[in-house]
Amino acid sequence: MILKQITDNGRLVFLDIAKGFLIYLVVLGHLPSDNPLYHRYIFWFHMPVFLMISGIFLKSKSDFKTEISKKIKRLLIPYFFFSLILGTIGRSGDFIKQALGTIWGGYGNVTIYTFPYYFIVVLFGSVCLWYSINNLKVNNLCKWVIAIFIYTVFHILSLLVPHAFLDRIPWNLDMSFNALLYLMLGKFIVKKKIYNNIKWVFVSIFVVVLLYILDSKGIYKYDFDLLHHNWTYLIDIIIPVFCMLLLFAISRLLSKIPYISNFLSYIGKGSLMVLLLHPLFIKIYQNVFSDMNLFLLAFYNVLSCILVYYLLCKNKYSRYVIGEK
């Protein structure tokens, strides 16, 4: 056992801290750079770990309709609201084209301001799939077999079917099927308290450092990109799992430091708003601070998004459009 669980109204604070770290890395990974740190290594794990953390909060005994209704309010209302506004701006005012793209989702909703929004519909689709399988009258082993089978089938499809066709699937549904296993793994790791074992922390450090050395030396090159169907069977599970365990260990240590804990956990709670707004601030700050250090630029970007989140949370109507109760 490495650290005692710290909770805030029953919520694990270190999970919000981890989300705060991850969303910062998302922003950093989207900044223009030739450095592999930003566009390769961060992409190894950041979105899969977000999916695994999302799986932790799924409720096994809850009613399907109730939970999906919550996810519609939490995910889809902000998705449609910001897609229609920022996407229309990104399409030079073509509202009709953006409205159709928003409804179709996936690549249909890719503009300079909405390109990461695919993740929201992928998450929503995978959550719907998780609740559908969870409600089956079969034991847990059968549910795992179903999830692994789906994961395997869609990896095979990504090899056999042209990506130009997969890119046009509404709402990136193929990715939702692929993401199901991440949700289940996240829930399993926390339920079994695997993250709470010092042995797995050291194993995670060893695996992550080893993979980095192998990649940087050109011995084994690994690339992962959820959006572009750049997947590698099993490796795209192993790497994110160990990265998540390492991230959890760091986050739990930081949860002992009050001010840092509060700051990062608040960013984690507002991570959806950062996902929605950071492309806009990337565009703004590129024109204003073109020579700024990328780490600092990403930090200012996240702060700007969180400031907007804080202000919108002050009004009951604006809270609704950002998915807050």
Mean pLDDT, consecutive 10-residue stretches, the chain (325 aa), reads 43 89 94 78 92 92 86 95 93 89 85 92 95 91 95 90 82 90 94 89 92 88 83 91 94 90 94 96 85 89 96 92 86
Q: Do the beta carbons of residue 56 and residue 15 sit within 8 Å?
A: yes
Q: Do the beta carbons of residue 253 and residue 246 sit within 8 Å?
A: no
Q: 47 to each of 2, 24, 288, 307, how far by Cα in Å? A: 26, 12, 28, 23
Per-residue b or e along 156-186, where b marks 16 or more CB atoms closer than 10 Å to that residue's CB: eebeeeeeeebbebebbbbbbbbbbbbbbbb
**What are 316-324's contacts with CB under 8 Å, separation 24+?**
320/73, 320/77, 321/77, 321/78, 321/81, 322/78, 322/272, 322/273, 322/276, 323/73, 323/74, 323/75, 323/77, 323/78, 323/272
pLDDT computed for residue 222 by the predictor: 85
The phi, psi pair for 8, rounded to 5°, reads: -130, 105
Q: 67 to each of 13, 15, 48, 71, how far by Cα in Å? A: 22, 20, 22, 6
Tokens of 323: 């998915």
| Domain positions in the chain | 7-321
**What are 202-205's contacts with CB under 8 Å, separation 24+?**
203/242, 203/245, 204/242, 204/243, 204/245, 204/246, 204/249, 205/246
pLDDT computed for residue 34 by the predictor: 77
| Whole-number Å distance between alpha carbons of 325 and 306 | 17
pLDDT computed for residue 11 by the predictor: 60
| Whole-number Å distance between alpha carbons of 302 and 121 | 22
| Whole-number Å distance between alpha carbons of 125 and 128 | 5
The angle at the Cα of 123, spanning 20 to 118, to the nearest 5 degrees, equals 90
